Amino acid sequence: MSTGRGPSRNSERIVLGNRPLRNYLLDVVLALNRGVDNVEILGKGRHISRAVALYNLLHGRLGDSLHLDKVEIGSVHEKGRRISYIRIVVSRRII
Amino acid sequence: MSTGRGPSRNSERIVLGNRPLRNYLLDVVLALNRGVDNVEILGKGRHISRAVALYNLLHGRLGDSLHLDKVEIGSVHEKGRRISYIRIVVSRRII
């Protein structure tokens, strides 16, 4: 799922679905280990709470080496409905 | 629920519970109309998704006069468990 459009946009997006949180936790850790600049965690609708829970799991595992770059909230139109979302961008900090 | 500790901390906190979102929407609008500097919307656990939905409802109603001051995510220990939360701070912008 890496976008890999050169060094200026070395980011990876993880979209939360119905898999257990541990799976997404692994996805994020592996992406950070691959050296991406940042990972974007996207949660829509009822997955918003899970996205925040995932961030806290990550923070618990990685501690201060995890940096919270940005939290964005908003809504998008999908299939004629307005759906809330949260976008949490994290990166690994050298400590 | 106004804290009202002088002009430097003229803020109001709305904690999401099980009431319908429309009730909280009204609470926030009334607080902003009273002239508080900002309103803090706090959602914990499964109420996190509802807190974001409330922000989007507000944004739909108030449009550009609503300003998103801050979004904070994290976790707190409560009754021996770690609970995720989101804190959304909004204010009314003069346009």
- Structural domains of chain A, with CATH: 11-92 (3.30.110.20)
Residue A45 and residue B52 in contact, taking contact as beta carbons nearer than 8 Å = no
The pLDDT value recorded for residue A1 is 47
Categorize the per-residue pLDDT at B29 as very low, low, confident or very high, splitting at 50, 70 and 90.
Answer: very high
**How large is the ipTM?**
0.83
- pTM score: 0.86
Flag if A49 and B84 touch (Cβ within 8 Å).
Answer: yes
Tally of residues, chain B: 95
Distance, in Å, from the CA atom of B58 to the CA atom of B4, rounded to the nearest integer, reads 23
Residue B77 and residue B86 in contact, taking contact as beta carbons nearer than 8 Å = no
The answer to whether residue A56 neighbours chain B at the CB level (below 8 Å) is yes
The answer to whether residue A84 neighbours chain B at the CB level (below 8 Å) is yes
The answer to whether residue A16 neighbours chain B at the CB level (below 8 Å) is no
Distance, in Å, from the CA atom of B85 to the CA atom of B95, rounded to the nearest integer, reads 31
Mean pLDDT by 10 residues, chain A (95 residues): 51 96 96 94 97 97 95 94 96 84
Q: DSSP labels for B20-31?
A: -HHHHHHHHHHH
Flag if A56 and B74 touch (Cβ within 8 Å).
Answer: yes
**Statement: residue B5 has pLDDT above 50:** no
Centre a 10 Å sphere on the Cβ of residue A66 and count the other Cβ atoms it contains: 19
Distance, in Å, from the CA atom of B31 to the CA atom of B1, rounded to the nearest integer, reads 10
- Partner residue opposite A84 with nearest CB, options B47, B52, B73: B52
The answer to whether residue B73 neighbours chain A at the CB level (below 8 Å) is yes
